[in-house]
Amino acid sequence: MSILITAASAAKAYQIKGTMGAADVILGDYEALPEVMVNAGKMIRLPNPKNAAYIHEMLALCLDKNITELYPLRNIEMDLLKEAQLLFDEYGININYIADGL
């Protein structure tokens, strides 16, 4: 069981990760990420919320990576995921809106 925090290129993601102790936390972003971090498995590329299939792509990613908690940090992600809250709930994926969006 893993936790996904979006906006990996923002300091806020690291602040939230720091509060989680030894939990299995994955940082991801749809914006540009350092290739070395992606190749090392420290970060993952996320679906772009501007794609029409964003919700389905994000759900598939969460299921593939065994993610049970999701912390979206960008406003566009939050808005779309709020609309699909029930779908994620059905798969046991808890979406946490703990921060003001970026």
Residue spans per domain, the chain: 2-95
Tell how strand 2-5 and strand 43-45 pair up.
unpaired
Residue 23 confidence (pLDDT): 75
Report CA-CA distances (Å) from 53 to 34, 45, 48, 99: 25, 15, 9, 25
- pTM over 0.85? The answer is yes
**19 touches 39 (CB < 8 A):** no
**68 touches 93 (CB < 8 A):** yes
pLDDT at 67 over 80: yes
Domain 2-95 has CATH 3.40.50.20: yes
